[in-house]
Amino acid sequence: MTPPQPAPFHILLRPPRPGDYGWIIARHGAVYARQYGWNISFEGLVAGLVGDFVRSHDPARERCWIADLDGEPVGSIFCTRKDDETAKLRMLIVDEKARGHGVGSLLVDACMAFAREAGYRQMTLWTNDILTAARKLYAARGWVMTAAEPVNQFGQAMVSETWEVSL
């Protein structure tokens, strides 16, 4: 008898619905506190970024995606405008239960494709050295670290990094 096969993992990328922005803020706060010991100031930063996006984003050049599994959010990413030529990849998160299924790759690829279609020539992002899985995703797509600086943020010592890619 053959062992049962795992159920297929079908992810849908969709625009945010009511409640999704709150989920993004809460997941960032909870996941980063649990995994990295970050304090509540990180959740406050994410709340501010999300609030700014909701209030004033340009739908032609900025977007948010929710990775959906069976009607529940399991990830998100934002593409925002830095300037006319440069987009920012922001707030990538994949919930623990969805990791290892390509959700991060789908989100990053969608964000980069949209930035190209929106007319941006390059993208930038800010991350930290401890976020190794995300850094691997970026490097595999041609992103290059352009700056690194030791910092004490969110109650932890870490290395703040800027990454860039040409589109």
DSSP code per residue over 30-62? HHHHHHH---HHHHHHHHHHHHHHHHH--TTT-
What band does 2 get if pLDDT is binned at 50, 70 and 90? Answer: low
Q: Does a structural domain hold residue 141?
A: no
pLDDT at 96: 84
Q: Does a structural domain hold residue 44?
A: yes
Domain that holds residue 22: 12-125
**Sign of the CA dihedral running 97, 100, 106, 108:** positive
Task: Could you list the beta-strand ranges (E) of 95-155.
Answer: 122-128, 144-153
Q: Does a structural domain hold residue 74?
A: yes
Burial status of residue 39 (CB atoms within 10 A of its CB: 0-12, 13-18, 19 or more)? middle
C-alpha pair distances (Å), 161 with each of 67, 85, 128, 165: 25, 21, 5, 14
Q: How do residues 122-145 score in pLDDT, each as one tens digit? A: 999 999 999 999 999 999 999 999
What band does 100 get if pLDDT is binned at 50, 70 and 90? Answer: confident
Is the pLDDT reported for residue 146 higher than 70? yes
Q: Does a structural domain hold residue 160?
A: no
Is the pLDDT reported for residue 115 higher than 80? yes
Q: Does a structural domain hold residue 139?
A: no
* Phi and psi at residue 5, to the nearest 5°: -90, 145
Q: Does a structural domain hold residue 137?
A: no
Q: Does a structural domain hold residue 36?
A: yes
Q: pTM of this prediction?
A: 0.92
Q: 66 near 75, Cβ under 8 Å?
A: yes
For residue 18, the domain's CATH number is 3.40.630.30
Q: Does a structural domain hold residue 140?
A: no
Query: Domains in the chain: how many in total?
Result: 1
Q: How do residues 6-56 score in pLDDT, each as one tens digit? A: 556 689 999 999 999 999 999 999 999 999 999 999 999 999 999 999 999
Q: How do residues 60-84 score in pLDDT, each as one tens digit? A: 999 999 999 988 999 999 999 999 9
